[in-house]
Amino acid sequence: MVRRVNSRLHAVLRPPVLALNTPLARRRTTRALADAPRPLKLEIGGLAPREGWIVTNVNAVTRHFLDATRTWPIEDAAVSHVYSDNVIEHVPLEAARVLFAEAFRCLRPGGVIRFVTPDLRGHVDRYLAGVSPKGDPEAAVYEQFGLTVDHPLDWVRIPIASFGHHTGYVYDFETLAAELERAGFTDVTRSTPGTSTHPELDGLDQRADEGGAQMAVEAVRGTAAR
């Protein structure tokens, strides 16, 4: 009941708060991006300040508003790292392709991008193996959100139908790698959630304890011109 009341209250308050905060947050973002030393590090969809990073979001109370599915207010090759945790699955594919292209444009040669997102293949594999999600540590976050996790098919139903993912696009590694390569990235690799060979990206992930239900994918902006 409390969760339903909070959801209703959030739905009522979000539009006026968003309308009031967004113009201010856009201006803060413009100033922050202009003042940040180059190359800068950019987080998309972050919820808390991170030292050395410009952390952006599109939520109603964000300090730095950036719609990453539109042209970024950043010059070419100004960014060394882009990081985004559990964001792209909320974005339709065509909009995500704009995000990938803008990240490629703004990253300097050798710059790295890292996405953390649910792994649909990992969920499907658990379903096909008949693994019950109830009590499974990799499904604990779903139980915490009050979702039904009683049957193996919930492994597939939840990442597609819950959290607004039905309006976005859910990936497996092969699909995300293909889209990043389409945008021009090279050296697309999958790393263990919570770890990276790049020190600036190591230890950032918030949901590393979900194991194979989440995937962390990195790619490099190559040095050759497209």
Per domain, the residue ranges of the chain are 2-117+171-220, 120-165
pLDDT score of 3: 47
Give residue-wise pLDDT tens across range 143-159. 998 999 999 999 999 99
Q: How many helices (H) and strands (E) does the chain have?
A: 6, 6
Q: What pLDDT digit, counting tens, does each position of 72-99 carry?
A: 999 999 999 999 999 999 999 999 999 9
* Cβ-based neighbours of 157, under 8 Å, separated by 6 or more: none
pLDDT at 60: 85
- Average pLDDT, whole number, for the chain? 91
Q: What is the mean pLDDT of residues 35-41?
A: 97
Residue 20 has pLDDT above 90, yes or no: no
Question: Any idea which fold 2-117+171-220 has?
Answer: Rossmann fold (3.40.50)
Is it the case that residue 35 has pLDDT exceeding 80? yes
> What is the per-residue pLDDT for 32?
96
Q: What is the pLDDT of residue 5?
A: 42
135 Cβ neighbours under 8 A, 6+ residues apart: none
Q: Above 90 in pLDDT, residue 67? A: yes
| Pick from 192, 180, 191: nearest CA to 219 | 180
Percent of all residues in the chain with a pLDDT value above 70, rounded to a whole number: 91
- Average confidence (pLDDT) over 52-80: 96
The predicted structure's pLDDT at residue 198: 97
Dist CA 213 CA 124 (whole Å): 10
Q: What is the mean pLDDT of residues 12-30?
A: 81
In this predicted model, what pLDDT tens digit does every residue of 165-200 receive, in sequence order?
999 999 999 999 999 999 999 999 999 999 999 999
- Note the pLDDT of residue 11: 64
Pairing mode, if any, of strands 79-85 and 54-56?
Answer: unpaired
> Are β-strands 214-220 and 107-118 bridged in parallel, bridged antiparallel, or unpaired?
antiparallel
